[in-house]
Chain A
Amino acid sequence: MNIHEYQAKALLEKFGVAVPKGAPAKSPAEFESALAQLPDGPIMVKAQIHAGGRGKGTFVDGFKGGVKFAQSKAEALEIAKRMFGNTLVTLQTGPAGRKVQTIYFAAPCDIEKEYYLAILLDRVTSRPVIVASTEGGVEIETVAHNTPEKIFKIYVDPAVGLQGYQVRQLAFKLGFTGDYFKNAIKLIAGLYRTWWESDATMVEINPLISAPGGRVLALDAKVAFDDSALYRHPEIVALRDLNEEDPKETEASKFDLNYIALDGNIACLVNGAGLAMSTMDIIKHFGGNPANFLDVGGGASKEQVQAAFKIILSDPKVKGILVNIFGGIMDCNTIAQGVVAAARETSLNIPLVVRLEGNNVVAGKKALAESGLKLETADSMADAAQKIVRLVA
């Protein structure tokens, strides 16, 4: 799960991480009261969407920049009005863009130097790793590639947690001294606590900055959480913004379906994540384009299959459906009944190819054949993919 920048900063503050003073507004009526919380003078106006690249983004009406500097509160107010309700397109949003429904006003900082700091899981050691660099404000992948010596890593032993010496080591490597050093220590420790205590999968601060007076602050913040741990963090679940999710994905999650919208025209309905991924791959291999990833899970019911069909068909791009089920434990006949019921219920009028294999497959195929539905069956994944690609072309 992802959250907005303003939410991430509020969370970081709770863990003692210094951030520039800011205030969010969720409607134009809140603009003035939000601005009133900040000191007079220049203001940063930041459109809140989950995608990155906001600063370089463009709104659909031609207004440029989702992160803007205003000389005064009056100007900030004008900019916020242009942004709110408008749709921002960035490199990460895709051409459709995202509607801006929250504006974040922040006091600008005099930046002395920019750094990078992230905390994530190191899969090789199965430990949290803190990655930091003296090169902030740029793509960290580029830094890692061109100047790997400027990247520092600290692995945390989960048995004892982040140790003071490790934080000091990192702060020294980043070149902090005096008050900057003291504040950097506090900030790094706070970021780690945020990661660990809120079950985050990633905390990324780019840039982390030093500012006059020995200050060290998180100027931007990206935090993502482990979906599997949300059950023990109601305070984080409360930050979920459904406006940022594809409505089809939200609907799918209600039925315990794992759905991800893609941009092709062949919908897939598959059991198992690995098989679902490779079904997308094989469609592509034979020249087609998958419209989605959809895993109905290991023990899908008839109701789930019906719900899955409705979600798939709510995507207007879909021109054909491929059902690929390897019924290990799952009964192929149950799936077949679900497919038949769903096709009838939705008055399906686009090509449907069904590949069933495994448990009770004979009964399943019989149910499909006797349904009178216009569908094709297939004997293997390759056969199924070729058929649906041909039918959709």
Chain B
Amino acid sequence: MSILITPKTKVLIQGITGEFGARHTRLSLDYGTKVVAGVTPGKGGQFFEHGKHKVPIFNTVAEAIAATGAEASAVFVPPAFAADAILEGVDAGIGLVVAITEGIPVKDMIKVKRAMVGSTTRLIGPNCPGLVTPGAGKDSNGGCRIGIAPGYIHHKGHVGVVSRSGTLTYEAVYQLTVRGLGQTTSVGIGGDPVNGTSHLDAIKMFNADRNTWGIIVIGEIGGNAEAEAARWIKENCTKPVAGFIAGATAPKGRRMGHAGAVIGGKEDTAAAKIAIFKECGIEVAITPSDMADALIRCAQAKGVKLA
């Protein structure tokens, strides 16, 4: 098993005809992901063709779900229209919305988050690489890939990875794969200050997933989401957990690429977060090259298998 998505998950793509959305839809189809529908207002009735694949396009998310039974949506819509696209998915009652779009205004996300109170839809992102549940085939083909992560670096297995950063997630996944440690699911929750799913939400799911035997949690400067997750881990999680915090050298008050990566208060710094990780029994990776090894150390100390 895995969290959030399985190789059987039926995926729809909002913004399938845009350049970015189309490119990653092709890559997901090549990976073996069940992309069952696309949504582009005004292009309903057309098809998105790639090789032997012919994905029907709909005008609205509600129509796409009714016709195909899509269970998860990837949002590749430009920033100015992305909040609207997310809410369309929520209104249609889809279970999972993964917002890849970078640069959505904070105010739009404040409204989205408020509008989602009481909704059964889970939002991942925005400004995230999405998620991958690797498959059993060569280069993990046959898995479910929603978003922009490279599928081939994954390997089916028992480690859960959650991160705010895209390339840092890939780094961790790749380190695991070359050491023969596969993943259940890798989740990029995104670098924005207002997002749908937190580190803690993902960790709770990994903790509850019987197939996940160890967890890597990657955070960065800004906000207190990592601290919140760490304190929960200390009380509730018996699985080995390794962590890394990016931004030890970041200057105060500057936005380091991600909109959320700004050091504001004292608890925002990398040093403060690392101290909390340690205090909560999380094995801290000394450098970003040490993430998989840190998890191995932690698993060995606990006498837990990772593969």
Q: How far is the CA of A182 from the CA of B189 in the complex (A)?
A: 44
Q: Flag the segment in B2-10, B32-40, B57-65, B252-260 that touches A.
A: B252-260
Q: Does A267 contact B (CB under 8 A)?
A: no
Q: Are B259 and A228 in contact (CB under 8 A)?
A: yes
- Tell me whether A358 and B153 are in contact in the complex, defined as CB-CB below 8 angstroms, given that A123-B224, A275-B171, A281-B247 are known contacts: yes
Task: Note all chain A residues with C-beta closer than 8 A to B223.
Answer: 123
Q: Does A164 contact B (CB under 8 A)?
A: no
Task: Note all chain B residues with C-beta closer than 8 A to A290.
Answer: 249
Q: How far is the CA of A225 from the CA of B222 in the complex (A)?
A: 17
B-side interface residues, number (CB < 8 Å): 65
Q: Are A328 and B254 in contact (CB under 8 A)?
A: no
Q: Does A298 contact B (CB under 8 A)?
A: yes
Residue of B nearest to A285 (CB): B287
Q: Does A10 contact B (CB under 8 A)?
A: no
Q: Shortest CB–CB separation between residue A146 and chain B, in angstroms?
A: 14
Q: Are B287 and A123 in contact (CB under 8 A)?
A: no
Q: How far is the CA of A344 from the CA of B108 in the complex (A)?
A: 45
Residue of A nearest to B106 (CB): A226
Q: Describe A's contact surface by its main secondary structure.
A: mixed
Q: Flag the segment in B160-168, B209-217, B233-241 that touches A.
A: B160-168
Residue-wise, chain A 364-393 has the 8 Å CB interface mask toward B (1 for contact) of: 000000000000000011110100000000
Q: Are B256 and A329 in contact (CB under 8 A)?
A: no
Q: Does B218 contact A (CB under 8 A)?
A: yes
- Tell me whether A328 and B261 are in contact in the complex, defined as CB-CB below 8 angstroms, given that A126-B109, A196-B107 are known contacts: no
Residue of B nearest to A279 (CB): B288
Q: Does A341 contact B (CB under 8 A)?
A: no
Q: Are B257 and A258 in contact (CB under 8 A)?
A: yes
Q: How far is the CA of A270 from the CA of B168 in the complex (A)?
A: 11
Task: Note all chain B residues with C-beta closer than 8 A to A279.
Answer: 288
Q: How far is the CA of A121 from the CA of B222 in the complex (A)?
A: 12
Of B115, B218, B222, B257, which is within 8 A of A293 by CB?
A: B257
Q: Shortest CB–CB separation between residue B259 and chain A, in angstroms?
A: 6
A-side interface residues, number (CB < 8 Å): 53
Q: Are B191 and A273 in contact (CB under 8 A)?
A: yes
Task: Note all chain A residues with C-beta closer than 8 A to B167.
Answer: 270-272, 274-275, 298, 326, 328
- Tell me whether A272 and B256 are in contact in the complex, defined as CB-CB below 8 angstroms, given that A282-B287, A285-B287 are known contacts: no
Residue of A nearest to B287 (CB): A282
Of A272, A285, A382, which is within 8 A of B168 by CB?
A: A272
Q: How far is the CA of A297 from the CA of B239 in the complex (A)?
A: 34
Q: How far is the CA of A162 from the CA of B286 in the complex (A)?
A: 45
Task: Note all chain B residues with C-beta closer than 8 A to A274.
Answer: 163-169, 191, 218, 220, 246, 257-258
Residue of A nearest to B167 (CB): A272
Of A157, A226, A232, which is within 8 A of B114 by CB?
A: A157
Task: Note all chain A residues with C-beta closer than 8 A to B115.
Answer: 159
Q: Shortest CB–CB separation between residue A380 and chain B, in angstroms?
A: 5
Task: Note all chain A residues with C-beta closer than 8 A to B260.
Answer: 123
Residue of A nearest to B104 (CB): A228
Number of residue pairs spanning A and B whose beta carbons lie under 8 angstroms apart: 169
Q: How far is the CA of A282 from the CA of B107 in the complex (A)?
A: 34
- Tell me whether A277 and B166 are in contact in the complex, defined as CB-CB below 8 angstroms, given that A228-B259, A298-B148 are known contacts: no
Residue-wise, chain A 282-309 has the 8 Å CB interface mask toward B (1 for contact) of: 1111000010010100100000000000
Within 8 A of A (CB), among B60-89: 79-80
Residue of B nearest to A92 (CB): B253
Q: How far is the CA of A270 from the CA of B256 in the complex (A)?
A: 13
Q: Does A26 contact B (CB under 8 A)?
A: no
Q: Does A357 contact B (CB under 8 A)?
A: yes
Q: Does A13 contact B (CB under 8 A)?
A: no
Q: Are A277 and B265 in contact (CB under 8 A)?
A: no
Q: Are A124 and B257 in contact (CB under 8 A)?
A: no
Within 8 A of A (CB), among B113-169: 113-115, 129, 148-150, 152-153, 163-169
Q: How far is the CA of A359 from the CA of B155 in the complex (A)?
A: 16
Task: Note all chain A residues with C-beta closer than 8 A to B256.
Answer: 260, 273, 276-277, 293
Q: Does B99 contact A (CB under 8 A)?
A: no
Q: Does A158 contact B (CB under 8 A)?
A: yes
Q: Are B289 and A381 in contact (CB under 8 A)?
A: yes
Q: Are A229 and B249 in contact (CB under 8 A)?
A: no
Q: Does B18 contact A (CB under 8 A)?
A: no
Q: How far is the CA of A278 from the CA of B287 in the complex (A)?
A: 8
Of A127, A275, A358, A385, which is within 8 A of B110 by CB?
A: A127
Q: Does B170 contact A (CB under 8 A)?
A: yes
Q: Shortest CB–CB separation between residue B269 and chain A, in angstroms?
A: 12
Q: Are A278 and B250 in contact (CB under 8 A)?
A: no
Task: Note all chain B residues with C-beta closer than 8 A to A298.
Answer: 148, 166-167
Q: Are A359 and B114 in contact (CB under 8 A)?
A: no
Q: Are B105 and A228 in contact (CB under 8 A)?
A: yes
Q: Does B266 contact A (CB under 8 A)?
A: yes
7 nearest CB pairs, A to B: A274-B165, A273-B257, A272-B167, A229-B105, A274-B168, A328-B150, A382-B289
Query: Contact residues of B with A, CB < 8 Å?
Result: 24, 27, 79-80, 103-111, 113-115, 129, 148-150, 152-153, 163-171, 174, 191, 193-194, 218, 220-225, 244, 246-251, 254-261, 265-266, 270, 286-290
List 24 A–B pairs whose Cβ atoms lie within 8 Å, in order of A's numbering: A121-B194, A123-B222, A199-B107, A226-B105, A226-B107, A260-B256, A262-B249, A272-B167, A273-B191, A273-B261, A274-B164, A274-B257, A275-B168, A275-B288, A277-B165, A277-B250, A278-B244, A280-B249, A281-B249, A328-B150, A328-B166, A328-B167, A380-B289, A383-B289
Given pairs A273-B256, A277-B246, 13 additional interface contacts (CB within 8 A): A126-B194, A157-B114, A231-B79, A232-B80, A270-B167, A272-B168, A274-B164, A274-B165, A281-B247, A298-B148, A357-B174, A358-B153, A358-B174
